[in-house]
Amino acid sequence: MTISPAELSKLIPLIQDAGALLLRRFEARHFPDPGDEAGARAEGERRMKAPHEFVLEEDLMADKLLAEGIAWRFPDAGIYSEEMADWRRFREDKRLKFLIDPLDGTHNYHYGLPQWGIAVSLLDADNRPLAGFIHIPRYDLLLYNFTAGKGPTHENYGGRTRVITSSPRHQFSEALVAYDNQFYRLGEAAFARYQEIAKRAFTTRITGSAAFDAAMVALGKFDARIWNQVEPYDVAAAFPIIQGAGGVTCGLDGNADIDIFHGGMMVVGNREFANELAQAIR
């Protein structure tokens, strides 16, 4: 089974539909119509799925829309999502498969912050990313790459499409570096790394969304994003998108020979700055 770029492009409207659904619900939650008689904010259901981590009704709604839409278009492909109890089974699935994060940045979404999005990747039999989509609905932004990072990454912004390139900046003193959140589970080494980066970089950001940060690196707005530990669904779409924009996906030691299961990794605008970062955080 193969899936062509032309076939993959048919997923763009589906992903945008899921984004529109999330955006409508987000605005109803946090920016209700002043004409609403009760003036009440719409609150969907919420349940805890781990300490300091919950899932929203909107996670599940977007997940259902995406999974059903992909299954209808590609019935022979595997489909796995963060919201599936057994999503880790994808690692043994030798089919072409899609890996979905239907709402990355759930906590931002819940608290009314705009940094959240959708990430969808296509993986081969060996779980190498062949294609990636990142959609940031509040910014009307969609990035995609259908060439395993070997060809250019495209941006669809406000209905206009263009090829994008990541940041050429390589001086630490001029760099904006995004960093991990969820310090409660990262340990002292993560604090030490952050302190070292904060001393050297021009400025830092902790946005709480892997998809948003990866998009900003691909667009050249951020110079790097560091994860001390990360799940495959958070970064699989970023691999082809970052590489196709001219950036680097690598381990915390700067080694680019990594896969989506690596855990600690970073995406960086260019190789020279990746080397500098790796030296700083060893």
CA–CA separation, 26 and 10 (whole Å) = 25
The answer on whether 104 is annotated among ligand-binding residues is yes
The answer on whether 103 is annotated among ligand-binding residues is yes
- Give Cβ neighbours of residue 92 (< 8 Å, ≥ 6 apart): none
Instruction: Specify the pairing of strand 176-178 against strand 224-227.
Output: parallel
Closest CA to 109 of 59, 64, 157, 62: 59
The answer on whether 17 is annotated among ligand-binding residues is no
CA angle (53 as vertex; 132, 82 as ends), nearest 5: 30
Count of positions (residues) in the chain:
282
Half-sphere exposure at residue 267, Cβ-oriented, CA atoms within 13 angstroms: 35
Closest CA to 274 of 150, 189, 196, 170: 170
The answer on whether 253 is annotated among ligand-binding residues is no
The identity of residue 77, as a single letter, is A
CA–CA separation, 249 and 235 (whole Å) = 10
**DSSP per-residue codes, 182-228:** -GGGT-HHHHHHHHHHHHHSSEEE--S-HHHHHHHHHTTSSSEEEES
The answer on whether 213 is annotated among ligand-binding residues is no
End-to-end CA distance of the chain: 42
Binding residues for Mg(2+): 82, 101, 103-104, 234
Detail the residues annotated as belonging to a binding site. 82, 101, 103-104, 234
